[in-house]
């Protein structure tokens, strides 16, 4: 049913950077921040950094062609890559030779733009600045007071 609320949400999805893919909503940042600050931004939008569960989802994100943080880190335990919901990494899309923990200081995963295959992830220092993608079951709609 198309009602005023539905129209309002559709409008916000378009206006505020959210895109729907499958049953999920994705927010593509316009700014660049560290991994932690990016995650904080997602949480303020009642979302979290994106968790990539399938080849289709990987393809969807690759099409955006943006250098962005994903919700994957091994900061807690070197070499144990975990998603932000604590689930371990199963289907991985690392670039060839990655993750390599260069200089012993690369604990956060970024989606690189220059890969010509689906294998596009690289581990880089978490303090670097990149764009980010948040994922949620619902788009965040700011309440107008």
Residues in the chain: 145
d(CA 139, CA 27): 8
Q: Which is nearer to ligand MMA, 47 or 108 (CB)?
A: 108
Q: Which is nearer to ligand MMA, 107 or 135 (CB)?
A: 107
Q: Is 106 in the site for ligand MMA (CB under 6 A)?
A: yes
The beta strands (E) that lie in the chain are given as: 18-21, 24-28, 48-49, 68-73, 82-83, 108-111, 121-124, 131-136
Q: Is 124 in the site for ligand MMA (CB under 6 A)?
A: yes
- C-alpha angle 65/69/70, rounded to 5°? 100
Q: How many residues bind Ca ion (CB under 5 A)?
A: 6
Q: Which is nearer to Ca ion, 47 or 126 (CB)?
A: 126
> Mask of contacts with ligand MMA, 38-77, x by CB under 6 A?
----------------------------------------
């Amino acid at each position: 049913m198309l009602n005023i609320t539905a129209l309002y949400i559709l409008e916000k999805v378009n206006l505020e950077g959210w895109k729907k893919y499958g049953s999920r909503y994705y927010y593509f940042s316009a700014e660049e921040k560290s991994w932690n600050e990016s995650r904080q931004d997602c949480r303020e939008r009642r979302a979290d950094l994106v968790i990539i569960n399938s080849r289709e989802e990987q393809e969807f994100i690759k099409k955006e062609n943006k250098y962005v943080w994903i919700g994957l880190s091994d900061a807690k335990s070197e070499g144990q890559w975990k998603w932000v919901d604590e689930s371990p990494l199963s289907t991985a899309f690392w670039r060839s030779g990655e993750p390599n923990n260069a200089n012993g200081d690369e604990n956060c995963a970024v989606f690189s733009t220059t890969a010509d295959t689906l294998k596009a992830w690289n581990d880089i220092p978490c303090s670097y600045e990149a764009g980010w993608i948040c994922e949620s079951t619902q788009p965040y709609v700011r309440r107008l007071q």
